[in-house]
Amino acid sequence: MADDSFSLYDLRIEWVPGDRCFCAAKPGDHFELHGEQLQFPPGQSWSIYTLAAVLPLLPAKQRETHPNDWMSTDALVACPDPNCNAKFRIRRMAKREFRHSETTAVPLTGNDDSKA
């Protein structure tokens, strides 16, 4: 069987306080993304609006990007509340290995959707 492994960065998403915050975030609040699993520390919760702003960026931040790509350099996401100036930092951590065969039922070969 061919090697079907790939790697993704684990991510840590941290609240960066501003002078006004309405989402009940506190200094030190964070969560991590390992593969497709969000991991929240005990007792911490996150606003659904904050998650909605951050979640679309996470799959791209998990992957290798060109050094000149803005996804490689930009790490702060603004709070979606226009009356709040807090931000959320996305930090790449260690890489984790995955196998295609353990993450999807779609085979590696013979399923080229570009011919559809």
**What is the rounded CA–CA span in Å between residue 20 and residue 27?**
13
pLDDT at 19: 77
- The answer to whether position 32 is within a domain reads yes
The domain of 63 spans: 5-104
- The answer to whether position 43 is within a domain reads yes
- The answer to whether position 81 is within a domain reads yes
Higher local confidence (pLDDT), 4 or 54: 54
pLDDT at 86: 85
Q: For residue 79, with 0-12 CB atoms within 10 Å meaning exposed, 13-18 middle and 19 or more buried, which class applies?
A: buried
pTM of the model: 0.83
Domain total for the chain?
Answer: 1
pLDDT tens profile 45-92: 888 888 988 999 999 999 999 999 999 999 999 888 888 888 899 999
- Are 13 and 30 spatial neighbours (Cβ–Cβ below 8 Å)? yes
* Mean pLDDT estimate for the chain: 87
